Amino acid sequence: MSEPILSTHALSGGYGDFQALFGVDMHIDPGEVIALIGANGAGKSTFLKSVFGMLPVAKQMVRFDGADVGGTPAHKMVRQGLAMVPEGRRLFAGMSVEDNMRVAIDNARLPEDQGQWTRDRLFDLFPILGEKRREMVENLSGGQQQMVAISRALLCQPRVLLCDEISLGLAPKVIREIYAVVPEISAAGTAIVLVEQDVSLAKSASNRLYCMLEGRITLSGASGEISRDEIATAYFGGSHAVA
Amino acid sequence: MQWLDAIIQGVLLGGMYAQYALGMALMFGVMRIVNIAHGDVMILLSLIAVTLAGVVPVGNLGLILLVVPIAVALGWVLQKFILNKVVGADPLPSLIATFGLSIALQNLMLEIWSADTRSLPSSGIASESFNIGPIYVGLLPVIVLICAFCITAGLDGVLRFTRFGRGLRAAAADTEAAAMAGVNPKKIYATATAIAVGILGLAAVFAALRATVSPADGPAQLIYAFEAVIIGGMGSIWGAFVGAMVLGVAQAVGLRIDPGLGILFGHLVFLAVLAGRPQGLMARK
């Protein structure tokens, strides 16, 4: 098998004196979808931020496409082929839907006409965004904002897409709509890391699954082969296991 | 007719204030960096212009072409070595750093240029005027106003339609999210400050042509720039232009009522806007 597109090696880190990650090993192959589940405070978002160069980590802790890249600033990681849909969407308020997208296009790994993703393709995928392309993003609904956030990340033309809780705060129908695009993204060869709190959603959308507890990986394996009991143990810790 | 004259003179004065305010609109309005040294940097550039004019006989246009690049370089250095270290969600560090810079600059200028007032020999432009009906209009203030208008339109266009403008608006809205979309915020900010101080370079030459400058004049210019930006509305480039006009007209009208009232009247209008429409005249919401 070829080398993973992204891997972490004993990744440790956190915020200043507070350590949130303790030796996390993880890898993802091109076109693969992995889910990272865990309770609040397990370190999932910290993990994504550490991979993306927003928290200080040692260089050899993160490997991307065969090179050590740990601690490289986020804007440089984008050029290498990493993109993120941040928790809470974090769109650029005061800017239109299309201008939000164009910020990503301006700084993408590849020009729009050479990449997988174009505005037209995304407007096909999310027709409502085509209608609202001149609308200010703060006037959109939560689901529509999430679509803009995903579009913005895809227009960076990533080889690995990190998605931080993209279902958070959305109606079930909207969540289904948004998760419906995951296979289309991975079919294009883009690897996807899904950080999720919704375990069944994470299981059904991914090839492999990692469970995190208190900054450590407590379970990993093929999503279809892991039982709910195993997940419950890994999710809450042994002493809190529930049937 | 007296009041029409006051309004016209006020608009022309507003042209000068707009040039002070545009850089402030970019830094304070868009980037949310409070630059207390804004006025002092302008005075510094004015004094550099006066000194340069005594050394190299290049004429007014040549002087602008010399001072603006110096200003751009100064802005870039200011952002790179001072402001990028203190920029963030909290406005306090940038306020304190630039307050210190303001005092240091004032004393430095006093040391180099003494407390004398200076101005540029204006080779006639400052005193030339023409008539519109019964009203005398100075040539230099009209040039200043036209320049202010063009810079406002240009800056607004740059923010709206260029890659740099989108990057700056994105970084101002959410610095971390902008970095996730590939924007290098520090580089964008350094460019923005270079532009802001570059505009101040132009204003500095005009200020020294129009009147006298001395090392302690900075804080007053700072206040006018702040007031124009806040009257117009934070983050709006045309707002700063309109705010500068409002401030200029208020001062000119106040001056007509009583010669001692001009500056005070400007401040009163500013306070009235803060009380009645704190988001500014041109703010979207």
Residue B145 near residue B11, CB atoms below 8 Å: yes
pTM to 2 decimals?
A: 0.89
Quick one: A118 and A234 in the same domain? Answer: no
Residue B29: band (very low, low, confident or very high) from pLDDT cuts 50, 70, 90: confident
Burial string for A226-239 (b: 16+ CB within 10 Å, else e) reads beeeebbbbbbeee
Residue B207 falls inside a structural domain? yes
Residue B166 falls inside a structural domain? yes
| Residue A164 in tokens | 């931080």
Residue A163 near residue A194, CB atoms below 8 Å: yes
Q: How far is the alpha carbon of A154 from chain B, nearest alpha carbon, in Å?
A: 10
Quick one: A50 and A168 in the same domain? Answer: yes
Provide mean pLDDT across the span B189-213: 94
- Quick one: pLDDT at residue B235? 80
Quick one: A42 and A139 in the same domain? Answer: no
Residue A65 near residue B147, CB atoms below 8 Å: no
Place of tokens 């239109």: A96
CA distance A171 to A150: 17
Quick one: A150 and A167 in the same domain? Answer: no
Quick one: A71 and A166 in the same domain? Answer: yes
- Min mean pLDDT across A75-84, A106-115, B44-53, B80-89 is at B80-89
Query: Tens digit of pLDDT per residue, chain A (243 long)?
Result: 578 999 999 999 989 889 999 999 999 999 999 999 998 889 999 999 999 999 999 999 999 999 999 999 999 999 999 999 999 999 999 999 999 999 999 999 999 999 999 999 999 999 999 999 999 999 999 999 999 999 999 999 999 999 999 998 899 999 999 999 999 999 988 999 999 988 999 999 999 999 999 999 999 999 989 988 888 888 888 665 444
The dihedral formed by the CA atoms of A98, A101, A103 and A104, expressed in degrees to the nearest 10 = -160
Residue A32 falls inside a structural domain? yes
- Quick one: pLDDT at residue A240? 53
Quick one: A163 and A151 in the same domain? Answer: no
**Statement: residue B285 has pLDDT above 50:** no
Domain extent, residue A134, equals 92-155
Residue A224 falls inside a structural domain? yes
CA distance B111 to A48: 53
Quick one: A31 and A57 in the same domain? Answer: yes
Residue B114: band (very low, low, confident or very high) from pLDDT cuts 50, 70, 90: very high
**Statement: residue B30 has pLDDT above 90:** no
Residue A230 falls inside a structural domain? yes
Domain extent, residue B112, equals 13-126+136-276
Chain A segment 139-198 residues within 8 A of B by beta carbon are 152-153, 156
Instruction: Give the bridge partners for A27, in sequence order.
Output: A7
Residue B163: band (very low, low, confident or very high) from pLDDT cuts 50, 70, 90: very high
Task: Say which residue, A238 or B228, is predicted with more confidence.
Answer: B228
Task: Say which residue, B30 or B244, is predicted with more confidence.
Answer: B244
CA distance B131 to A177: 68
Share of chain B above pLDDT 90, in %: 71
Q: How far is the alpha carbon of A205 from chain B, nearest alpha carbon, in Å?
A: 24
Quick one: A179 and A61 in the same domain? Answer: yes
Could you tell me which chain B residue has the CA closest to the CA of A154? B181
Residue A87 falls inside a structural domain? no
- Quick one: pLDDT at residue B284? 62
Quick one: A60 and A109 in the same domain? Answer: no
- Quick one: pLDDT at residue A239? 60
- Quick one: pLDDT at residue A7? 96
Radius of gyration of chain A (CA): 17
**Statement: residue B259 has pLDDT above 90:** no
Residue A30 falls inside a structural domain? yes
Residue B7 falls inside a structural domain? no
Contacts of A100 in chain B (CB under 8 A): 170
Residue B245 falls inside a structural domain? yes
Which of A108, A123, A155 is the last residue before a domain boundary?
A155
Task: Say how many C-beta atoms besides its own lie within 10 A of residue B42's C-beta.
Answer: 28
Quick one: A200 and A145 in the same domain? Answer: no
Q: How far is the alpha carbon of B160 from chain A, nearest alpha carbon, in Å?
A: 9
Chain B segment 150-189 residues within 8 A of A by beta carbon are 163, 166-167, 169-170, 173-174, 176-185
Q: Is B235 on the interface with A (CB under 8 A)?
A: yes
Quick one: A96 and A212 in the same domain? Answer: no
**Residue B171 belongs to a domain with what CATH number?**
1.10.3470
ipTM for the complex shown: 0.91
Total domains in chain A come to 2
Residue A86 falls inside a structural domain? no
- Quick one: pLDDT at residue B121? 81
Which of A155, A171, A202 is the last residue before a domain boundary?
A155
Which of A100, A126, A155 is the last residue before a domain boundary?
A155
Mean predicted lDDT score pLDDT of chain B: 91
Residue B2 falls inside a structural domain? no
From the list A161, A162, A179, the residue with the least C-alpha distance to A170 is: A179
CA distance B34 to B39: 12
Total domains in chain B come to 1
Interface test with B, best of A15, A103, A110, A117 (most B CBs within 10 A): A103
Contacts of A86 in chain B (CB under 8 A): 176-177, 180
**Residue A181 belongs to a domain with what CATH number?**
3.40.50.300
Quick one: A76 and A114 in the same domain? Answer: no
